[in-house]
A = this chain, B = another copy of it.
Amino acid sequence: MKIGRAAEIAGISVRTLRHYDQIGLLHPDVGAAGYRSYGDGEMETLWRILFFRELGFPLGQIKKMLHEPAAAQKEALRGQRGLLTEKKEHLEKILTDIDRILEKGFEVNMVKTFDVSALEEHKKQYAKEAAERYGETYRQAQERTAHYGQEDWQRVMEESQNIFDSLAGCMQRGPDAPETLYWVGKWQEYITRRFYSCTPEILRGLGELYVSDGRFTRNIDKTHPGLAAFLKQAIDAYCDKPHSP
């Protein structure tokens, strides 16, 4: 079978078949004139290649998987499942953002500053069980913010801006200065009042997020460059002191 017919049967393009030959994914027999020839064996392999491709595997990995036993392939499937799940969750988060913007206006985007959902995401890398503990907190925030109107968001953001301004004013005093710690307390109180019960543990998680996740860092550093890093240190200092509730 020549390449055109093989492509037609497989429902893919000739270019694709040549590409697979080039990257060593599927080498057909080659006749005297240089024509590629696909037999039953090649079509069977091609079939499996396209099968994995539909499941979202990159071609490089398919190349490795082809000659592995079924058990190893299932293992790869589990890995793939994890990857795709992450992608899906990421998309869901973006979709939530878009919906919120369409409903409440562009300004509401600052919500990210206290978004625990990203906290789950981040924590997964360190402690897997931690991820689920924030589920309830997340729902709490979702419920409460659902009732907020445009004006509420306006106020919410003013408040956070005030605290950030104050914290920025403390940056020379150091992250463990009494005044700094006072404003960290205010921040914790603000989140608790406006969104969800912000425990020291969650607060610490948010602090880490502020420096490790660009989206948060940007939001905080926007008006006061360097504040995110400072705030993280201040939060750590605050949580290490015995006076947190």
A4-23 contacts to B (CB < 8 Å)? 8-12
Whether B94 pairs with A84 at a CB distance below 8 angstroms is yes
Complex Cα distance, B47 from A55, in Å, reads 36
Say which one of A139-147, A187-195, A218-226 lies at the interface with B.
A218-226
Q: Say whether A56 faces chain B, with CB atoms less than 8 Å apart.
A: yes
Contacts of A221 in B (CB 8 A): 9-11
Chain A interface size range: 35 or more
Whether B55 pairs with A81 at a CB distance below 8 angstroms is no
Complex Cα distance, B85 from A73, in Å, reads 29
Whether A10 pairs with B84 at a CB distance below 8 angstroms is no
Contacts of A55 in B (CB 8 A): 94, 97-98
Complex Cα distance, B94 from A102, in Å, reads 29
Whether B218 pairs with A50 at a CB distance below 8 angstroms is yes
Prevailing SS type, chain A contact patch: helix
Q: Say whether A127 faces chain B, with CB atoms less than 8 Å apart.
A: no
In the assembled complex, the CB of A76 is this many whole angstroms from the nearest CB of chain B, namely 10
A76-101 toward B: CB 8 Å interface, digit per residue (1/0)? 01101100110110011011011101
A53-89 contacts to B (CB < 8 Å)? 54-56, 70, 73-74, 77-78, 80-81, 84-85, 87-88
Interface residues of A (CB under 8 A from B): 8-12, 47, 50-51, 54-56, 70, 73-74, 77-78, 80-81, 84-85, 87-88, 91-92, 94-95, 97-99, 101-102, 106, 109, 214-215, 217-218, 221-222, 225
26 inter-chain pairs at a CB distance below 8 angstroms, sorted by A residue, are A9-B225, A10-B218, A11-B215, A11-B217, A11-B221, A12-B214, A47-B218, A54-B97, A55-B94, A55-B97, A56-B91, A56-B94, A74-B101, A74-B102, A77-B98, A81-B95, A81-B102, A84-B91, A84-B94, A84-B98, A85-B95, A87-B91, A88-B88, A88-B91, A88-B92, A88-B95
